[in-house]
Amino acid sequence: MADGPWLRPCQRKRDTIALHISPVPVTAASDSTLPLFRLRLAYIPLARPIMVPSLLLGIAIPFAVGQRTGTMVKEANPNLLWSNCTAANSCQTVNSSLVLDANLRWIHEADGWRNCFTDAVWDPKLCPNDVSCTANCVMEGVDNYSTAYGIRTKNDSVSLQLVTRIEFSKNVGSRVFLLDETKTKYQTFVLQGNEFAFDVDLATVECGINSAMYFLSMDADGGVERFKPLNQAGAGYGTGYCDAQCPMDGKFIGGKVGF
């Protein structure tokens, strides 16, 4: 069982959970594969959760090009079990899944294989400006989290590795979010008056590696409703990440390419 500043017990809002591994910027990461989490989650309401009602309204909106998903790779979210408990020995297993942060996905031209983003640089032909880039590029799904990003789940545990070698290249770092059972929204939690418990194994994480599990406030749908019609990908593709660090490397912000 663990407690930390991310629990913010004074807040009544619903938060999303994220798992993250990356090299600390000032330290060179080794080229080894580093398992991170052997994770078992238990969400134990100690008081009646505060339900946040929502109202969805349909309205006709003129077509606009925004953050879109490709059709070359079908998204295959790895399953993850966790327990929702109403008392110490009264728990219900929840069949959930994980989704990769949109910022780590392959972005390519809409009608071909050409990369829109390579070595931290946008393609000047496809992306001369943010409007053209948003229109020309799509974000792909991930069909094998294990071989592409080193993200593995088994029953109620998940492990992440820092460096994953793929053909002609390698992926470094990962961040995943917990989805709800519909796989279209993030799993949110009311933290006030509740307990969140987990087991974690950091035994093989080397010095200089940022490995973390934390809560943060995000739109449950990944920003689809707030940024429609621009954000057409949503939580199912890991969109909408936001934290206090104000990252400057976000490929898409509010459904548009962020130069």
Residue 179 has pLDDT above 90, yes or no: yes
Least confident of 13-22, 126-135, 203-212, 225-234: 13-22
What mean pLDDT do residues 208-232 have?
89
CATH number of 16-50+61-105+140-242: 2.70.100.10
Quickly state the pLDDT bin for 192 (edges 50, 70, 90): confident
pLDDT digit string, tens, across residues 132-173: 999 999 999 999 999 999 999 999 999 998 888 888 788 888
For residue 204, pLDDT beyond 90: no
SS (H, E, C) the chain: CCCCHHHCCCCCCEEEEEEEEEECCCCCCCCCCCCCCCCEEEEEECCCCCCCCCCCCCCCCCCCCCECECCCCCCCCCEEEEEEEEECCEEEEEEEEEEECHHHCCEEECCCCCECEECCEECCCCCCCHHHHHHHEEECCCCCHHHHHCEEEECCEEEECCEEEECCEEEECEEEEEECCCCCCECEEECCCEEEEEECCCCCCCCCEEEEEEEECCCCCCCCCCCCCCECCCHHHCCCCCCCCCCCCCCEECCEECC
Confidence grade of residue 182 (pLDDT, cut at 50, 70, 90):
very high
73-108 per-position pLDDT tens digit: 999 999 999 999 887 778 899 999 999 999 999 999
Q: Where are the domains of the chain?
A: 16-50+61-105+140-242
Predicted pLDDT of residue 53: 32
